[in-house]
Amino acid sequence: MFTLTTERLVLRDFTLGDEDAVHQYASDPVVCRYVDWGPNTLAVTRAFLADATLEAAGVERRSFTLAITSKVDGLVIGSVAVWEVSAAHRRAELGFVVNPKFQGQGYASEAGSAVLELAFARLGAQRVQATCRPENSASASVLTKIGMVEEGRMRAHMVIRGTSVDSLLFAAVQSEIASADFA
């Protein structure tokens, strides 16, 4: 099982036993209001976990969909993912979701920072990008906090529940992150 450890968290591969914890936040309409998935039915949550466990079994992984868990008690707090978008262009993308019970405590920033480093170190990415809805100021704040720069607004970027929505595009470039670490 793949794991990444941070100060307060263990980011690990999902297991089928995570169903109740994942479904708690993935079925919440408030959690899903800014994303193109959910609110999940139990069947959709089970399919997500089946896909995540299949991904984890891959020999040459180019994507990591990880449970964000508390280092103290192992409780599933949310999910964070990073995946290769283009090997040829060394691009990856990241995303995260946190159960509302645990929002506002810096867990998304801690997990996001760890998978950003994973993208550069393990996937060999030179650029990692992420998007969020313009009205999702909490996610925009997390992305900025982990060193990503807002590059612009993509108009009519996605269709969510039948409505075209804009997205803000954020990115981190390895050379800029590396130079900031030595500043």
Contacts of 161 (CB under 8 A, 6+ apart): none
Phi, psi of 150 (to 5 degrees): -70, 125
The answer to whether the beta carbons of residues 164 and 156 sit under 8 Å apart is yes
Taking the model in full, what pTM does it have?
Answer: 0.93
**pLDDT tens-digit profile of 34-43?**
999 999 999 9
**pLDDT tens-digit profile of 42-89?**
999 999 999 999 999 988 899 999 999 999 999 999 999 999 999 999
98, containing H or E segment: strand 91-98
pLDDT at 177: 76
**pLDDT tens-digit profile of 126-165?**
999 999 999 999 999 999 999 999 999 999 999 999 999 9
